[in-house]
Structure 1
Amino acid sequence: MSRTETVRFRHSQALLVAAVIAFIGTLPLASIRWYLLPLLLIPLAIGVWVWRAGTEADARGLRLRALVGQRRIDWERVVELAADPRGRAVARLDDGEVLVLPAVRGSELPRLVAVTGRPPSDPTG
């Protein structure tokens, strides 16, 4: 049984620490009145998003994870991997759809391409 290498990209754990601090900071405000309790859901949702969201890549394809749900994309559907002007990594699919890869920066594209097992194509033709 062969084991495939999986590369995981996640958001900085400093964001998780910030969400915990925001949750603790919101406690006094939320405890003043019962209708302010939903304010606690904001830092809680941010903490879950940081813990869960990201991109995983292996020889078969990409798995994009968000706060709720995930999407699996085979490498055969990916036409191009590039960086957008904001420095985020994006994937263009065969149907023209452009997906921002969560937690992947443009500078990390060589790591992402290396896991595909295919050499990068020459953009000059």
Structure 2
Amino acid sequence: MSKPDTVRFRFNQAILVAAVIAFFGALPLANARTYLLPVLLVPLAVAVWAWRAGTDADARELRVRALAGQRRIDWDQVLELATDERGRAVARLDDGQQLTLPAVRGEDLPRLISVTGQTLPDDAAESPGQ
């Protein structure tokens, strides 16, 4: 269970529902021939990814979770939080890497920054269209 001061970003859970439906839809195919049993692994992997993948942030660190692992990044290593051309949030690190934050959109950046205890200037919090 997450702590109250931890912000969690996850993908839409409709992906998980679609993976479960795909799993049951693939059962007749997998039962037809034994060599088709690995077909069931695809929706199973998508379901685990949808349940697990995302970004967690607290005052100490940023944790990026994937299908089979996670990466912890101290806030001291993050030089900049920005958005890419597709509107996804990215973290530019002090070692030159650019890390896309799973399930975090550009409009989620103020909430991500607020968990660190820092505040944004008033003009940065407004959207460019206003």
Tell me whether 1:23 sits opposite 2:39 in the alignment: no
SS of the equivalent of 1:72 reads: strand
1:74–1:4 Cα change, 3 Å: farther
Aligned to 1:5: 5
Could you tell me how far 1:4 is from its partner in structure 2?
A: 6.3
TM-score (norm 2): 0.88
Could you tell me how far 1:119 is from its partner in structure 2?
A: 2.9
Aligned to 1:85: 85
SS of the equivalent of 1:20 reads: helix
Aligned to 2:115: 115
Aligned to 1:47: 47
SS of the equivalent of 2:79 reads: strand
- Structure 2 unmatched runs, 5+: 125-130
Distance in 2 (CA, whole Å) between partners of 1:42 and 1:52 is 15
- Structure 1 unmatched runs, 5+: none
Superposed structure 1 runs of 4+ greater than 6 Å apart: none
Count of aligned pairs between the two proteins: 121
Q: Percent identity?
A: 69
Q: Which amino acid aligns with 1:36?
A: L
SS of the equivalent of 1:103 reads: strand
**1:83·1:106 contact (CA, 8 Å) conserved in 2?**
yes
TM-score (norm 1): 0.92
Could you tell me how far 1:107 is from its partner in structure 2?
A: 1.0
SS of the equivalent of 1:79 reads: strand
Cα RMSD between the aligned structures?
Answer: 1.6
1:75–1:4 Cα change, 3 Å: farther
